[in-house]
Structure formats: structure tokens, C-alpha cells
Structure 1
């Protein structure tokens, strides 16, 4: 793929690496590629980061036909730049694209786009402990048309953001509110896809949870509102009497890449990992019996987020005295050590740039 590169003649001042937060800053450049029905994907280019000019009737604004992904680039201990499970992210983007009728994008082409953009903006990759360069590929429908149908034109784009911890708590356990009023997704819907509609549907519950003093919500199933699904933007795990339980992938939750990494590591360590449905009442009963030992969430942004409190039916379940559990810590250390090149990557998860 021949990618045209136009350098930014007015580069930004880079932010303080020790005060990045998450998603607050963006690098000097972005990648753009267009799709036209009958032609396919064309005109790949790296351009200065800046506003887009779109028609007010662009279909993405009115019918939310769009998808996105999230992954990270890391400054390894040997000074090299590496990506973690990038090909899995690109495969999942095409799964999301298929669900919302966006044309497939060649995964080698997407990888080349990401690699080229990171090489152009490599000086933006932070090196402070716990920091990384967040990579956001996304696709938007651009047809100037009011009517419900798949668009005929799209933009595939990639932007980059130097980031620190996703939650302000960092690795300190979070407070999670069990949501049994609102519904995020149902089987047969778009819950498994990374598309904005899923996240728009979650905002009201998250705002109300924040007002109650909780960081995020634990979603229950959309049909019976009793089976545990996922935590906000992350997959949820519960360690019960030495075994680890998580919700199965049945079409309403995201097939998390960090979820899969955690499962493979735990099985490699000898843990029994059980993917099966569990009701919130069953979890509460196990908690009251003293059998719930640990809870944590997994996701690209936070990696591992220990759960210290679950609020449900007006009561708080305080897990492991609201301290990070040994398994949560071990998983975080193992995954981040691979991501930063400190430990051997025996799963072939890392791609060096």
C-alpha cells in the first residue's frame, strides 16, 4: 500500500507524561483512507491531525453507522516499539464492520496504516511507568443522505493518544454498581460489536452510578435482568473457591482481547476457568457464604481493574476487604510485563514495529 505522508508543519507541545489521564491528548498526525462503492478502499494517507469536514447530512450523524477499536503501542524496556495482539483487534474490527454493514478492510492494509502512523509519531510514545500510546482505528459512514440504508462512502481513520491509567483509582479496587434497571444489549443485537450505539446506551446508567459514588456499572442480561454480563467497557471475572468464573460469549457482550489473554494465562497457571451464566443473586449468596474471593474486570484501557465493592439492592458487597487480590495482581503484572517486553512472549502476542 502506497501511503502518502504530509507532515504537520506546526507540531504540538507534548504533555507531561506523569499527568496524561486517558484520552485527553492527541498526536500530530492521523491516518485517513476513503471507501467509494464500486471502487473500494482508496487514497491512504497520513495527514496533520485536525478537524474533519463532513456534510451535515453525513449518515454517521443520523444512523450511527460506525465502528471502532482500541489497542496500545508500548515503549519496551529495550527501546523498541511493540503492539499487543494487534491482529486480533483488526480481525474484531471486521467482525463489527460486518454486523453494521460496513465493507471489510484488508487486515494487512490496516496494520500497515497503524504501523506507518506510529512510525511518524513515535516521539509521542510515553515512557513513564504505566503509560502507553493508545491507538484508535475507526470507520464512519459519510454519505450525505437521509434514509436508513448502508452508506456507499466511508472513511477509515486512525488517531493516537498518549495515555496513563484509565481509572483514576489505577490498580486500587473500584466501586461498581449493579445495573438492573437499564438495558445495554440483548442477544441478536449489536452488543458483541464495537460500535457507538452500545456505549450511548450505557451512558445514563453510568451517570446515575457515578452520582451514587460508583465508578462503573455491572450490566445484567437484557432479557431477564438477572444474569451477570460485563462491567461497563470491560469483561468481569469472579474467583470463587479457587475457580474463576466469567460470562460466556453469547452475542450480547464483547469478545474482549484482554479477557482472552487473562483466560489463557490463568489456564496456563493451572486455574480452572469456567465460562457460564451466573445470576447476581447466586453471586450475592456466594459472597454471604464467604466463597467470593476476588473480582476484577479486564480491558485494553485498564488491563486489569480490581473490583472492591459491588452495590446491589441497596447493599454493598465488599470483596477481599476492598484490597487487590493476588490473582488480579498476578494477571496485571504478567500482561503488562509482556506488553513492555520485560517477560517472554510465549503466546506470540507481541508485534514489534
Structure 2
């Protein structure tokens, strides 16, 4: 990695020096990860020795970033000087914690069928010992390559038609529930009857259609798992590079393939219903699922992806010359193309840096593409008081 040489430190009110610092970020080796995407971006040999699913950039305790060449975690640095690192405005709104978590996500195989709880559900569930964090996990994924996701219920009529076309008697009650406008009850009926998976998959394999082909593909990877039938109830979203999708609380979803940048509330609260070897909790998923929650395609406005989430905002910055960034916010910069300088720190593709809130405005220069993570603006809908 390029080391942080010559960066000019500033001094906070507490007397601590702050500067733009190069980060070293953990990579999660989940089984669904790619052996090429992250390795290629960071200039390592392809294929990687094993699957590389996510690179985490932030302070979450399950995988905090480290300061390159220092050994301290970003979480420890923020904890030692929250006002200097986060700024008074962020501390006042979110407490003494970085409210967002940035990720690179490399999907080679479909993820689990899952949902995330709301702020209230997360706090209540954490108190019960169900969730690891007391925080919600709204998220935005922005495609770096073509990216495919299933998210949100398709119309009940369309889902009923897809199931009815298979002519499987065991599905008749599920079709009736959909026709009655009860998608959650229909989902429960699918998930609680693994005995019908084989005959439904057999029927799906006889009809050449992308929705049925996906059921067959999932069944091959997760034989006997009734969650492989759930895609017949869900909407498909195909993102081109630069396009983004926002998922709020209660949205049932499953990422299928692609490479992208994610930003989310700094939480690891995930409730799964299947398509995974990780713990599954169908009852909790059905409890927090919101059938009316809609995934939102998000277009960048002047490079900014605006969402309802107060925890984060994502910028996509095409650098060709000089681009100024205002001060006052704790930011993580991630270079995904070219070579970009953040003040005196050089970033190549796959490298990242943390900018403390008390650092003066930063100028990005050179040529490349940088994603910038920061807290959402104060006037963003849904802002709530810090705990």
C-alpha cells in the first residue's frame, strides 16, 4: 500500500492531531463471495485462494478498519476522541459512534433470503438478545458491475400467476393466499412446507423462463430448502454500473450476483429465512417483514445518492482535475478507479482513507473514481435523536 507521507495534521480542541489517514480493511470470506472481484480491484493475484465476499470500511466491532502502518483500529481512534473525529454535529445526532458502515460487496453466488429490522425493532430485539446491535441497518447498494437483486414483493396477481402456471396441486392454497392479497401468509406457507420443494422444482425445470430457472439454480445449491421458491414472490432489479438501490427496514431481499459499493447503518442485524448455512429464524423474519416496504431505485443527483436514511449519504465522485469536499463531516474515501490524491495522500484503486470531521476541506485531485461515505444531512427525512 502507499503510505501516508507528508500529510499535514490539524489539531482538535482536545489537542489531538487529526489528518487524512490510509485505512487497512478486513475482508470477509463468506461462501457466496467472488474469488476475482476484490482481488482484481486491489491488485492481488486472481483467483484469490478462497471466496472474498465483503470488505468492511468503518468502525463496526465485527470488522473495524485499521489505520495503515499504525495498528490502531478506527473504532479506537474514534472512541478516544469522538468530537475531534466525528464532529459535534454528528455526535449530537448519532452519539459517539460512526453511524455508517461502508462495504465492497462481491456476489458470486446468491445471498440468503433476508430482512433487516427497523430502529424500534432493533432496539427491542437487542434487549431480548435477538439482535447483535441496537441499531437499524438500512442500506444502499451501488453497482460497479452489472448487479442483480431480488427485493420487495412483486404484485400478488403476478406471483399467483407464476405459481399457478406450475400446475402443482400443493401450491393451490399459496395461490389462493396471493389472490386474496396476503403475500406474507403466502410466504409463510412456502417456507413451512419443505416437503413440496422437490415437486415444485421439478415443475419449474420443465418451463424455460428466468424466474423458474432461478428457482432451479437455487435448489441445486440449497437442496430441500423451501426458501428457493421465494423468488417467485419477489421483484427482480437489474442495476447497471452507477445505478443504486435503497433497502429500508422490512424489505425482503436476496442479492444474486454482481460487484458493488454498499453503505448502511453501522449494524450487522440480519434475519434470514433460508438459502444459507447461517442461523435461520423464520418467525422473526415474518414478524419484522413489511410487505408494503418498497425498494427504491436511487439516481445520483450531482453525484449524490439521496436516501431517507439519516445514518449515511453516498457520493460518487469522478475526479478529473480538482474536486473540493467541504469539511465538518467524518468521511471515508474509497478509490475504485485510477489514482487520486486526497490532499497529500495518494489513493490507488482499492485503497481508502478516513477524513476526520475537524480536518479542513479536502481537495481530491488526479484522475479516477472515488466513493465518499458520510453521515446524512441534518434536514434528511427520518432524522432522530441520538440514543
The verdict on a shared fold, with TM-score over 0.5 as the criterion, is: no
Shorter-chain-normalised TM-score: which range? Answer: under 0.3
Q: Give the number of the structure with larger relative contact order, counting CA–CA contacts within 8 Å between residues 6 or more apart.
A: 2
- Using structure 2 for the length normalisation, give the TM-score: 0.23
- The structure with the larger Rg is 2
- Using structure 1 for the length normalisation, give the TM-score: 0.24
